[in-house]
Amino acid sequence: MDDWLIPTAQRAVLITVAKADGSVPREPGARMLVDAFSQWGTVGGGHLELRGIETARAMLQSGEARRLERFPLGPSLGQCCGGVVHLAFELVDRAHCAELAARRHEDCWRVVALDGEPDLALVDALGHNLQRSGGRYPDFERSGGTRVLLDGDNRRWLVDHVPAPRAHVMLFGAGHVGAAIVRLLADLPCRVTWVDEREDMFPPVAPPNVVVEATDMPEVLARQAAPGTCFLVMTHNHALDQRLTEAILRRPANRDWFGLIGSDTKRKQFEHRLRDRGIARARLDDMVCPIGVPGIKGKEPAVIAVSVVAQLLMVWEAAARSAHTATATPALLEQD
């Protein structure tokens, strides 16, 4: 998820998509890290990325600190996208990246001088200066995404929004399917709480975005989870699955999403038992079971994992579209 924050021991250049016009492979804010031998992350692949890597390594040779370059994808690079991408290049400031890595739980903005002295700042959502190297930086709106600003002296600045991961997955079950799902989620912008009573089932090292909870009271974690959590229940025990299902469905109806592994038969059994325990029909309808993208029938753990994670991506993107529409509506009314 945060490949560009990898603490490589080599001198490195961070490449950021600073601006994009038309049809382009990646959005503003996409990043990759390049040192003399390796690279992490991606700004879109193809000829654009090759040129970006070449530029970054030339900067490592010359010692140039910052650069902003414009790449027309069709005319100059022969890519069929046809849009224009502006890439910002900066020699990595390790203290800056370390501070940002420590604050991945909160929204931050990187403010990077692209001209003149290599001034640099890290700002939180309230406008507090968390870290600064060099002189003053321009005022900017802490809304919108990554962009390039001009100050009063026509000096260019990269304002790079680094949002905290919004999605939270609480996954119950450390078996084959659960482990396969965690491996896929490791590369996605989300936080994962991975729960099982069997501590020896967890791998020795979990991905950076995963918190392991070895507990014999998983229902407590389900009840206490923040609103908007995505729950996945796939334990080794049907009775435990049912207890967790009841705990989740007794939560207030809100932005939660709940997926239960199993067949149509399992769903019918759980519905019958939970109706007898007072769970309303409307809440039972919120339970997604079977889980996964319809049409994918394979039972191998890796196949199920891909199907479930694809379903989560659909849920997250729908939520993001809904949030964008809700915030955009007032502006559209004002224009009328």
Whole-number pLDDT of residue 324: 61
Tell me the Cα Rg of the chain: 23
CA distances in angstroms from 67 to 25, 26, 86, 112, 153, listed in the order given: 21, 19, 10, 11, 18
Asked if 267 and 260 touch (Cβ cutoff 8 Å), the reply is yes
- State both tokens at 102: 């420590």
**Range 167-317 classified under CATH 3.40.50.720:** yes
Please give the pLDDT value at position 78.
Answer: 61
Task: Give the integer Cα–Cα distance in Å for 324 and 241.
Answer: 35
Is the pTM above the cut of 0.85?
no
Token pair belonging to 165? 């991961």
Nearest to 307 by CA among 173, 177, 167, 176: 177
Q: Which two tokens stand for residue 160?
A: 């790079």
Give the whole-angstrom CA distance, residue 160 versus residue 41.
Answer: 16
Write down the residue that tokens 């998983």 correspond to: 218
> What are the residue ranges spanned by the domains of the chain?
3-162, 167-317
Q: How many residues would you count in the chain? A: 336
The rounded mean pLDDT for the chain is 90
pLDDT at site 332: 33
Write the DSSP symbol of residue 312.
H
Which residues of the chain carry a pLDDT beneath 70? Answer: 1, 7, 75-81, 323-336
| Residue found by looking up tokens 């959590």 in the block | 229
CA quadruple 222, 223, 227, 231: dihedral, nearest 10: 20
Exposure on the CB side of residue 190, measured as CA atoms within 13 A: 26
CA 133 to the chain's CA centroid: 27
